[in-house]
A and B are shown apart, each in its own frame.
Chain A
Amino acid sequence: MQELIARAKELLADGTVARVIGWKAGDLPYNPEPAYFEKEEDFDDFVYNSFCGANLSKLMIEACKLEGKTLVCLKPCDTYSFNQLLTEHRVDRDKAYIIGVGCKGKLDIERIKKQGIKGIKSIKGAEITDDAETLTIDTLYGEKTCAFKDAMLERCHVCKGKEHKIYDEIIGESKDTKDAERFAEVEKIEAMSPEEKFAFFQKELSKCIRCNACRNACPACSCRKCVFDSTKFDSQQKANVDSFEEKMFHIIRAFHVAGRCTDCGECSRVCPQGIPLHLFNRKFIKDIDELYGEYQAGEEVVERGPLTSYTFEDAEPGIVAERG
């Protein structure tokens, strides 16, 4: 982390960049927040640890409109989102200075709390330099431990790899944390009967409070004005007023980001109700892989993705009936 701070300060001082987007230490052991750093003294609060899960690539849409270059800290999986934003001309490569930051998996405080750990005073093992396999957590109710793996975000269990796909320089080591099959959960749902599928999603989506956190955190959701916010259509809804929200909001959103979703997992990370929203997107990814050939959005900057180009080999609409 010190190397990262030193380098960021240097790039600010020599005028290469006008600002830095990173994370600021929180007031609890696990709640750092995304933040802008413009002056040397701002860095007193700079932090980069295993609780820095937020994907900062989306902040670059606004940052690219500002004067000068912006330094942004991106983890390996965040770089896919940045590439996808470049593909869609939503960010400007020339306005970004990307430091690929090392990542050995990010932690999910909800998963720690689910294990009955509460009254947290401090957490050891979350430092980025730490290679601890166990977190030692000091709480008001005694010292607890938790395996690092058991506290990782869902997305880290299906890690896309330790490689940064776009960067100006890399600081820190990364680790591939994959220990589960990416499509295993999707396959489980595919195997369900239509009634079971419906029940599964209705139960999960009935928790939705329409806070829009999934949409607002999603790097693929970059429309200036979302149709669900527009007062000009009946589509604007603020609550689960009828079954529409439960069934349609998330499905429409999944369709809209299909072929563009990099599977960064922000939607599920930010959902206050713990809805596994990534499953919708992952189903689309799996289908695209099967119907158009393997494709990972954001792996590189492309002209056209599988759903925005046409070839004679493309699947015919009739495939829907065939697949059942």
Chain B
Amino acid sequence: MYKIAMDNLSALFQKIAESNELYLPIENCGQVNYGVWSEDADVNIEALKTVKSPKDAFFPQSENLYRCDKEEKKISITPAQLKDQNFVVFGMKACDIQGVEVLDKVFLSDPVDTFYAARREHGTIVALACNEPEETCFCKVFGIDCSDPKADVATWIVDGELCWKALTEKGEALTDAVKDLLTDDSAADAKVEEKKAEIKDIVEKLPYMGLSLEGWGSEVVDEKFDERFNSPVWNDLYKPCLACGTCTFVCPTCQCYDIKDYDTGHGVERYRCWDSCMYSDFTMMAHGNNRNSQMQRFRQRFMHKLVYYPINNDGMYSCVGCGRCVEKCPQSLNIVKVIKAFENQGGEK
């Protein structure tokens, strides 16, 4: 295992940025979000959660697909360039890494999304174990171990030092590139094990640890599916929902997008941008909208995460328990309350 003093991290970032674009948590006007590193950026890798998840690095909120330009009677079409520069996402937590796995199953299965695939190919993820999990965290419910994140490189903050371990070829390559700044320390292994145990201890004490996923998942088919889908519980749950997109836009696994045209005056720029199932025109087609009430749209979000996605992906849930929606919903609704509501009422009336 390698290590580097926390005080020396800016040198590490500088070194990484020499040959890569570097995304990491940056504080701007009081909020921490992933952004591109620069020397004067206010880096804050100790923040447990960024407001938005780091999924932007692989699936940006908006990106151009192609542009059409009109010159007299000629129309030319120029596809947007795929990502061709290597980049590093530094400090990703275990929940957000599983979030990327959720996106992979959507975007890398046939037909492969070339924009996403290019970013995955050029991106290296440096994971960071969670230091002090919070009451809104429930990753363990989905089988995630936040003390031992699996990515290209895994890191831990222990006693003012960042312990560093490469786990993949990409990770080895990055380690080689920054080796001058790292010290090899065989004693670090034991310290990291201690740290992991400490984190696991805290995780056990988190209030959402007892959350049960019984009644959700890939087994919810046939009558069970109809019962859940048609349950009267949804009618109570959705009521305070403002129909804003906060939960979907801070979520590391929400992957729905809309494709729109921007009129450039002499042509069209076709782009895609995140969509939200909370919005009134979500999946609207020529015939209209097939979910025309907020209850239906609200139900869509949670059924997708906890039933549809697992059915289509070997039981994998598309919630990773990061707790961002728990923190950010203006009305204090969230996926945990939804799961609990069915737990309490059986949901199978």
Contacts and interface: CB of A to CB of B under 8 A. Distances in A.
A241 B271 contact: yes
A31 B332 contact: yes
B148 interface: no
A269 interface: yes
A231 B274 CA distance: 16
A209 B328 contact: no
Interface residues of A, number: 47
Interface stretch (B87-95, B111-119, B279-287): B279-287
Contacts of B281: 229, 231, 236
A207 B239 contact: no
Interface string B299-333: 00000000000000000000000000010101111
B240 A207 contact: no
Contacts of B61: 209, 239-240
Interface in A238-257: 238-242
B2 interface: no
Which of B28, B205, B240, B279 has most A Cβ within 10 Å? B240
Interface in A113-153: 114, 118-121, 140-141
A119 B199 CA distance: 13
B273 A274 contact: no
A27 B326 CA distance: 10
Interface string B219-256: 00000000000000000100110111110111000000
A141 B281 CA distance: 44
Given A118-B134, A211-B249, A272-B51, A238 B279 contact: yes
Contacts of A237: 260, 273
A36 interface: yes
A54 B331 contact: yes
Interface stretch (A186-194, A212-220, A284-292): A212-220
A28 B331 contact: no
A140 B206 contact: yes
Contacts of A204: 29
A216 B243 contact: yes
Interface in B261-309: 262-263, 271, 273-276, 279-281, 284
B284 A231 contact: yes
Contacts, number: 135
B207 interface: yes
B274 A234 contact: no
The 4 closest A-B pairs by CB, nearest first: A270-B330, A239-B273, A31-B332, A213-B244
Contacts of A65: none
Contacts of A207: 28-29, 31, 33, 51
Contacts of A234: 263
B333 A33 contact: yes
Interface string A59-83: 1000000000000000000000000
Given A35-B239, A36-B239, A207-B28, A216 B135 contact: no
B104 to A, nearest CB: 22
B185 interface: no
Contacts of B193: none
5 contacts: A35-B239, A54-B331, A59-B240, A119-B134, A237-B273
A178 interface: no
Given A203-B28, A239-B274, A274-B31, A28 B330 contact: no
A211 B246 contact: yes
A28 B207 contact: yes
A229 B332 contact: no
A237 B31 CA distance: 24
B280 A34 contact: no
Given A28-B207, A240-B61, A240-B62, A217 B242 contact: yes
Contact of A209 (B52, B330, B340): B52
Contacts of A120: 134-135
A28 B206 CA distance: 11
B336 interface: yes
B328 A119 contact: no
Contacts of A16: none
A92 B279 CA distance: 27
